[in-house]
C-alpha cells in the first residue's frame, strides 16, 4: 500500500480531494461541485449538508482502500465563513454567503458603538467589508437572529469545521481569525475589545497552532489530523518556507 496524506481543498465552486505520496506528488484527485441552496432570506449559500456527506463518504472510501494507506489529513477552505454549531455539534444556521449584503442598521450600530470604520480597520487589519468581516457575522447573528445566536454553542470558521467532522474536536486557527475578520486586535495580540464585550469570545473555540496536528483515531485507524487552514494562508505557506528574502 502507498503511504499518503489526504487533503480536502474546498473552494466556492470546486471541492477537491487529493492524496499526496511521500514525494509530495498527487497520486489521486477527486473534484466535485454542488448546486447552491438558499438561506432563510432567499440568498444563495453553500449546501453544507451535501458537502458534509461528500467529505465523509470520500474519506471513508479511501480509508478502506487496499491501494492507499492514509497517514494524515488536513483541510483548506475559503474563509470569511462561520459554521454555527449547537451543543451536539450540528449546524443551527445555513453556511451564510459572505457576499450577502450586511444589514445596514446593524452595521451602523456596530460602528456607533465601537469606533469608526477607519479605527476598527486599523486595529484589526480589516477594511470594512460587511459579511467579509466574518466576526461581524456573529455580531449580526446576535442582533438580527437572536434565537439562532442563543442556540449556537460554538462557531467554527469553515476550515476548522471540516476538521471537526473528522476529529470531533473544536479549535480556532489564527490563519482564519487574522484574515479580515475584524476579530483580532493586532496591538493587543488578542481578540478586540468588542468581541469580549459582546460575549462573542464565548462562542469561539480555543486557538490551536496550525503547525501542530491532532492524534486521532478515525474508523479504527490512527491518523494525524490538522485543524484546517484558510485557503489564502495555505497558498502562502510554501512561499514563506522556501523564500529566505524578507517579505514586505
| Cell numbers standing for residue 48 | 453544507
pLDDT tens-digit profile of 81-129? 999 999 999 999 999 999 999 999 999 999 999 999 999 999 999 999 9
What is the largest distance, in Å, between two alpha-carbon atoms of the chain?
60
Q: Where are the domains of the chain?
A: 2-242
Place of cell 453544507: 48
Q: Do 63 and 70 contact (CB within 8 A), yes or no?
A: yes
Helix H or strand E encompassing 110 = helix 104-114
| Superfamily classification of domain 2-242 | ATPase, nucleotide binding domain (3.30.420.40)
Q: Do 227 and 163 contact (CB within 8 A), yes or no?
A: yes
Q: Pick from 44, 19, 47: which is nearest to 33 by CA?
A: 47
Please state, in angstroms and rounded to a whole number, the distance separating the CA atoms of residues 21 and 13: 26
Q: Is the pTM of this model over 0.75?
A: yes
Integer distance in angstroms from the first to the last C-alpha of the chain?
44
pLDDT tens-digit profile of 19-54? 999 999 999 999 999 999 999 999 999 999 999 999
The answer, yes or no, to whether residue 247 has pLDDT greater than 90, is no
Q: Pick from 111, 114, 219, 210: which is nearest to 163 by CA?
A: 210
pLDDT tens-digit profile of 148-203? 999 999 999 999 999 999 999 999 998 889 888 999 999 999 999 999 999 999 99
Q: Please, which residues have CB within 8 angstroms of residue 61's CB and are 6 or more apart in sequence?
A: none
16: which strand partners? 9, 31
Distance of CA 164 to the CA centre of its chain: 10
Amino acid at each position: 500500500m502507498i503511504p499518503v496524506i489526504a487533503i480536502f481543498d474546498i473552494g466556492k465552486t470546486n471541492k477537491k480531494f487529493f492524496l499526496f505520496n511521500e514525494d509530495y506528488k498527487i497520486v489521486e484527485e477527486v473534484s466535485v461541485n454542488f448546486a447552491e441552496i438558499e438561506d432563510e432570506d432567499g440568498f444563495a449559500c453553500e449546501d453544507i449538508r451535501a458537502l458534509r456527506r461528500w467529505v465523509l463518504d470520500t474519506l471513508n472510501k479511501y480509508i478502506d482502500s487496499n491501494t492507499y494507506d492514509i497517514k494524515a489529513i488536513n483541510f483548506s477552505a475559503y474563509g470569511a465563513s462561520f459554521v454555527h454549531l449547537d451543543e451536539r455539534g450540528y449546524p443551527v444556521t445555513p453556511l451564510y454567503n459572505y457576499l450577502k449584503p450586511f444589514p445596514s442598521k446593524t452595521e451602523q450600530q456596530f460602528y456607533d458603538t465601537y469606533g469608526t470604520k477607519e479605527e476598527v480597520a486599523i486595529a484589526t487589519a480589516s477594511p470594512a467589508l460587511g459579511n467579509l468581516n466574518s466576526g461581524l457575522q456573529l455580531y449580526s447573528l446576535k442582533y438580527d437572529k437572536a434565537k439562532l445566536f442563543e442556540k449556537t454553542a460554538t462557531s467554527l470558521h469553515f476550515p476548522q469545521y471540516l476538521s471537526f467532522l473528522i476529529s470531533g474536536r473544536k479549535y480556532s486557527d489564527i490563519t482564519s481569525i487574522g484574515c479580515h475578520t475584524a476579530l483580532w486586535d493586532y496591538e493587543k495580540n488578542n481578540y478586540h475589545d468588542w468581541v469580549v464585550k459582546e460575549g462573542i469570545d464565548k462562542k469561539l473555540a480555543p486557538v490551536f497552532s496550525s503547525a501542530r496536528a491532532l492524534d486521532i483515531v478515525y474508523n479504527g485507524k490512527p491518523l494525524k489530523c490538522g485543524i484546517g487552514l484558510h485557503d489564502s494562508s495555505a497558498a502562502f505557506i510554501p512561499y514563506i518556507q522556501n523564500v529566505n528574502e524578507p517579505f514586505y
